[in-house]
Structure 1
Amino acid sequence: MKRFSWGILAGLTALAIAPQAMAATGWCQNTGNGGAPFQDSFSFIESFTNPSQNQAGMEFSRLYHWSTGGTYKAKCDCDNASGVTYFKATVPG
């Protein structure tokens, strides 16, 4: 029984320290601005000059336009298996 217990303990220890068991969470934290939360603002105002557009059921694609042109510094809890990771936000429509 003692030998069996040591075998289980050794197996669990091997699983606990195996690289695949140490997966990263993917959590990112702001490192710019003293670590304060990143806040951004952009205009969400659209003017309509055609009175026929003022009716129920009208759909407008892409009423918003935003591009801050700035950067966001963050440190992420991720592995270096693929090197640098780039993120891009796209808006459908």
Structure 2
Amino acid sequence: MNKNSTELLAEMERVFESGGDKALEEFVIAHFKELPVQVQKQALFGFFSEALEKQAGDAQIADIQRQGIDSMKIIASVSGQRVI
């Protein structure tokens, strides 16, 4: 069944209203080739932005963890206890 752009966009809206972001993401992935080019571009930009934000967040978490380990090593050396 081929849907026109108006039907797809209306269905996307219904999916989002009933299922939220995750349901909309799954719908967009499942129907990507059917979507208008402009919507495809917006979806790709959104997915790319989300991936960059996650990567930046992961890098910040790793940095905080490294700082925590360094602090634990300093405390261990001062107290004479082995931490790691």
Query: Normalised by the size of structure 1, how large is the TM-score?
Result: 0.28
Of Structure 1 and Structure 2, which has the larger fraction of its residues in strand? Answer: 1
Q: Which has the larger radius of gyration?
A: 1
Of Structure 1 and Structure 2, which has the larger fraction of its residues in helix? Answer: 2
Which is bigger in relative contact order (C-alpha 8 A, separation at least 6)? Answer: 1
